[in-house]
Structure 1
Amino acid sequence: MNDREGRPSGLRQRTRRAVQAEIAATAMQLFLEQGFESTTMEQIAVEIGISRRSLFRYFDTKEDIVLGDHAEHGRTLRAALEARPADEPPWEALRAAFKVLVESLPYTPEGFLKITSMLHASPTLRGRQLERQQQWTELLLPDITGRLGATADTMTELRARALIACALACSETAMEMWVRSNGTVDIEGAFDEAIAAVRA
């Protein structure tokens, strides 16, 4: 199947992803240099060398540029969770899956700290990030429901949703403490402490 310009649709998708990745990398550099709120879509378009209209063909908002990979991160988390032993308890499986996700991110520790600090400093980004994390709940729900070892009824789903919500909250709390400490707090240790507090 070809697109309107005669290119195979698979090539078109790969080309689109490559352009999106270039835009995201350039925009992220501007965000880190100037601050998220101070950077405009116009500036990003100029830096890339495309029109503002062309930029909007790839991203609707600045928030989408920063959080564009969030859905993919959710799928990575789900795959890591599903790869855990079927008889592993939910908390342990979720912890291991979160570790895989963090290790899969294509950032240096310094770069990840800068990006995470930017996310936490912007109320707009923080709100959108939390909104998108709700989508992760739906991705993780089938696996966690199965790990509870009970009939998939309303109360089982409630318990599974509560477990996932707590795990996501513990992850966010650990990240926040890591940012506040300027990267000196161990993320895994902070996550374990948060989980232990919830389970106490």
Structure 2
Amino acid sequence: MTGAARTKTRDIARAAVRAELAQVAFELFRREGFDKVTLDDLAAAAGVSRSTFLRYFGTKEDAVLGAFEGQDRRVADALRARPAEEDEWTALRHALDTVIERYRVDPAGSLETTRLVRDTPALCARHLEKQYSWRPALSGALAERAGTDGPTLAQSVRAAAALDCLNVALDHWLASDGRLNLVELLDEAFASLAAG
């Protein structure tokens, strides 16, 4: 086996263990409440040591929010891939399909995760903090599409507004207990700003 194959196999195994630990953590948080569960509780439920759990997740928040890792890159890549003639606002809306894809694939699981994040102040704050860091990636992708040296103020505002539209749509979807169509909610949120 080559070094590259060994590394790839190790990465696959690490991702599988990480996913399993995240699932155990999510189930425990859902059952007991996020604030009541300690890192020691998580390690015990997963059948690993605390230090092993911490190797995969630096905090218990990361065990939940790890599901959202890399979304900024995926959205920025999708934004860069949008047709050049498409206006920035429309391109942003379609690029966010990469985020809501998981909601279409697993609506029940996504509803539970979204509810846990929104109903837990520590998770909600950390998630919004992480999402705030997406803005430079999105405004940078808009600047690349426009062929400018860096993002303009307008591009930065559009990136921020797009993320707010996503969050408002998710809040309405969550309030409906997943009955409303998230794609339609996001379309409506974007349209309300475009019409303004």
What is the TM-score normalised by the length of structure 2? 0.87
Per-residue deviation, 1:193: 2.4
In structure 2, C-alpha distance between the alignment counterparts of 1:118 and 1:28, rounded to whole Å? 9
Aligned runs of 1:79-158 on 2, under 5 Å? 79-104=77-102, 108-147=106-145, 149=146, 151-152=148-149, 156-158=151-153
What is the count of residue pairs matched by the alignment? Answer: 193
Cα pair distance change 1:80/1:104, threshold 3 Å: farther
Per-residue deviation, 1:113: 0.8
In structure 2, C-alpha distance between the alignment counterparts of 1:157 and 1:187, rounded to whole Å? 30
Deviation string 1:149-188 (CA, Å, 9 cap, x unpaired) is 47446xx521111000000001001101111121122222
Q: Which has the larger share of helix? A: 2
> What is the aligned-residue RMSD (CA, Å)?
2.2
Aligned to 1:61: 59
Unaligned runs of 5+ in 2: none
Amino acid at match of 1:26: V
SS at match of 1:68: helix
In structure 1, C-alpha distance between the alignment counterparts of 2:185 and 2:103, rounded to whole Å? 19
Aligned to 1:162: 157
Deviation string 1:125-158 (CA, Å, 9 cap, x unpaired) is 11111111122112222221244x47446xx521
Unaligned runs of 5+ in 1: none
In structure 2, C-alpha distance between the alignment counterparts of 1:101 and 1:60, rounded to whole Å? 24
Per-residue deviation, 1:104: 4.2
What percent of counterpart residues are identical? 35
SS at match of 2:51: helix
1:32/1:115 contact within 8 Å kept: no
In structure 1, C-alpha distance between the alignment counterparts of 2:36 and 2:105, rounded to whole Å? 23
Cα pair distance change 1:19/1:105, threshold 3 Å: farther
Per-residue deviation, 1:106: 8.4
Q: Which runs of 4+ in 1 moved over 4 A?
A: 104-107
Amino acid at match of 1:95: R
In structure 2, C-alpha distance between the alignment counterparts of 1:166 and 1:23, rounded to whole Å? 34
2:88/2:142 contact within 8 Å kept: yes
Aligned to 1:179: 174
Cα pair distance change 1:170/1:179, threshold 3 Å: same
